[in-house]
Amino acid sequence: MCGIVGYIGHREAYPIIIEGLKRLEYRGYDSAGIALFDGTDLKVSKTKGKVLDLENRVASEISTNAKLGIGHTRWATHGVPNDINAHPHYSNSGNLVIIHNGIIENYDSLKKELIARGYTFKSDTDTEVLINLIEDVKLKENVKLGKAVQIALNQVIGAYSIAVFDKNKPDEIVIARLGSPLAVGIGEDEFFIASDASPFIEYTKNAVYLEDEEMAIIRINKGIKIRKIKDDTLVDLYVQELQMNLEQIEKGGYEHFMLKEIHEQPNAIRDTYRGRLLVKEGIIRMAGVDDNMEKFLNANRIVIVACGTSWHAGLVAEYIFEDLARIPVEVEYASEFRYRNPVITSNDVVIAISQSGETADTLAAIKLAKANGAFVFGVCNVVGSSIARETNAGAYTHAGPEIGVASTKAFTTQITVLTLIALKLAKAKGSISNSDYRYHLQELELIPEKVAKALQSDEHIKEVADIYKDARNCLYLGRGYNFPVALEGALKLKEISYIHAEGYPAAEMKHGPIALIDEQMPVIVVATKKGHYEKVVSNIQEIKSRKGKIIGIVTEGDVHVQELADHIIEVPETLEPLSPLLTTIPLQLLSYHIAVMLGKNVDQPRNLAKSVTVE
């Protein structure tokens, strides 16, 4: 996820773009850049860091006459965050300039073809490949910029929203969208382009939102023309009047970042497996694993180190690695591991999981593991973070920035990456049959739409939240793959509503926690069809006979638990190893609604920080 802004009109472009970028920083903030053209001089400034760093760096050197400009705040996907990889990027001739939000999956093959045709590249980005592809098409086919963009995009696989201009045509910007949002603000002889409407809300309330697979040519004095990228059909212009204020726009219309991030999960999971999960071919492509396959296959065991929610994702991974790939796994709190003199050798593979990539305990655990000769693999969200740099290899989750302190999309995307790795290893080891392997790939591809379906229970979950919001304690139970989900559900409730909650393996309840159960105690039980269903139903009966209040997270169409439980929340059916990706959704929503009803600061709960960089 990145933020893009563009302007063409009669005003000075620089202040509009720089202020717009500040408003889009929630979309990414590891580097920023701007390109301004005053009809003669093209000025491009880029820097690692925040928009403020860009502002400090360029304030003195930027042309204030430019009425055309584009700017970008980056959340790295290809290439670490640094000055060179920051956008805008320009073509080899220096004439075409681009900003891009998204991922070009086939950038590697396109790059090879362009290199063979004499093109050179300064950055590691997929974006620089795209702008040179556009230039190549433009020159080869002798077409205008808009046509060149269209032809080039038809060769591209991936997701994008882009804005491009040509120095030789300073009255025009070409934009396009597939999978990443793009809005155009329409003023009097001026146009604003942005990832959302926040950068232009004070200039115009009239906006056009591009749909997927659409592109637009925006020309001063001539207006905006939208076409389908595939077949060039002209699209009717639908101008909307914006009703939202600035804060609502930044949160995508949601009340809190946490809610926005919960609802982003279908797309976030899709972005995680994009370009990696090739269902038709029956392939999982992950360079970090492919390049180190021998290390994984020859390992005595895998040790997972992480903290908090990432540790819970590690527990889910323990089940899936052992179940499918038959590799022994141990999951350790990084804070314990680093101080307990663990037995680690060069025959171990250590997987470190971290959303931020900056958690001090996880970083220290990695250093200890490396010092003992282990091969360390990172699963991080933030590209170029300390953990991503410290590990020997890794795979990013590509969840986009997570702003809410409570992890939501980080958890499900971490599980997605770990599932891909487990399936890849299982295939390589032959511990999974071909048909089972294919079935898992197909089901994984369906998870985003099933998550979207699970999210539709939001209103019902809100009603349940209203009934239990005043509870003093809550118990979360699950078995097998859904035991870590119970832990994660309890953590979500604790951290944002400050209600005491415990997660337990359902069968452990009778060894102690059952003493807590009375008519005041809500017990949230994950009881999906495939995971030890009958056993969990027996556990539910034990709770019922002690008058506990039961909220069952069940598979769609379940009738058995419905008879016993006070409330049920349904999730779509899937394979058991993938079920945490669905069962966790209602638990996130339940804690969110309870916290909102209690008037808590959901996005910034007390005493917590998004990334814990101290011991």
In the complex, which residues of this chain contact ligand M6R (CB under 6 A)? Answer: 307-310, 354-356, 359, 362, 405-407, 491, 495, 608, 611-612
Tally Cβ neighbours within 10 Å of residue 606: 9
Q: Is 612 exposed, middle or buried (0-12, 13-18, 19+ CB in 10 A)?
A: middle
List the structure tokens of 121: 């590249």
Which residue lies nearer to ligand M6R by CB, 21 or 387?
A: 387
Which residue lies nearer to ligand M6R by CB, 105 or 495?
A: 495
Q: Is 370 a catalytic residue?
A: no
Closest CA to 580 of 530, 614, 517: 530
Smallest gap from Cβ 380 to ligand M6R, in A, equals: 8
Smallest gap from Cβ 499 to ligand M6R, in A, equals: 15
Which residue lies nearer to ligand M6R by CB, 123 or 309?
A: 309
The amino acid at residue 463 is E
CA 17/CA 193 separation, integer angstroms: 10
Which residue lies nearer to ligand M6R by CB, 77 or 408?
A: 408
Smallest gap from Cβ 163 to ligand M6R, in A, equals: 32
List the structure tokens of 581: 């990706």
Contact between 308 and 335 (Cβ < 8 Å) = no
Question: Among the options 2, 307, 380, 474, which is catalytic?
Answer: 2
CA 188 from chain centre, in angstroms, equals: 37
Which residue lies nearer to ligand M6R by CB, 175 or 366?
A: 366
List the structure tokens of 245: 């204020």
Smallest gap from Cβ 367 to ligand M6R, in A, equals: 15
Q: Is 436 exposed, middle or buried (0-12, 13-18, 19+ CB in 10 A)?
A: middle
Nearest residue to ligand M6R, scored by beta-carbon proximity = 308
Packed helices 580-597 and 409-429: angle between N→C axes, nearest 10 degrees: 170
CA 410/CA 312 separation, integer angstroms: 11
Which residue lies nearer to ligand M6R by CB, 8 or 268?
A: 268
3-class SS of residue 404? coil
For 381, list phi and psi in degrees, rounded to 5: -100, -40
Q: Is 610 a catalytic residue?
A: yes
Element containing residue 3 per DSSP (H, E): strand 3-8
Which residue lies nearer to ligand M6R by CB, 26 or 160?
A: 26
Sign of CA dihedral 361, 367, 373, 376: positive
**DSSP labels for 163-188?**
EEEETT-TTEEEEEEEBS--EEEE-S
Closest CA to 384 of 3, 24, 81: 81
Which residue lies nearer to ligand M6R by CB, 132 or 354?
A: 354
Smallest gap from Cβ 183 to ligand M6R, in A, equals: 31
List the structure tokens of 300: 């005595």
Which residue lies nearer to ligand M6R by CB, 256 or 440?
A: 256
Smallest gap from Cβ 312 to ligand M6R, in A, equals: 8
Identify the bridge partners of residue 343 per DSSP, sorted by sequence position. none
Smallest gap from Cβ 363 to ligand M6R, in A, equals: 9
Smallest gap from Cβ 386 to ligand M6R, in A, equals: 10
Identify the bridge partners of residue 303 per DSSP, sorted by sequence position. 330, 350
Question: Among the options 43, 228, 600, 610, which is catalytic?
Answer: 610
Element containing residue 331 per DSSP (H, E): strand 329-333
Residue 71, sorted as left (phi over 0), alpha (psi -120 to 50) or beta, turns out to be: beta
Give the start-end residues of each E strand in 447-541. Answer: 473-478, 500-505, 522-527
List the structure tokens of 521: 């105690």
Which residue lies nearer to ligand M6R by CB, 405 or 587?
A: 405
- Residues constituting the chain: 615
3-class SS of residue 210? coil
Smallest gap from Cβ 586 to ligand M6R, in A, equals: 16
Spatial CB neighbours of 208, under 8 Å, sequence gap ≥ 6? 183, 184, 186, 216, 224, 226, 237, 238, 239, 240
Catalytic annotation, residues? 2, 610
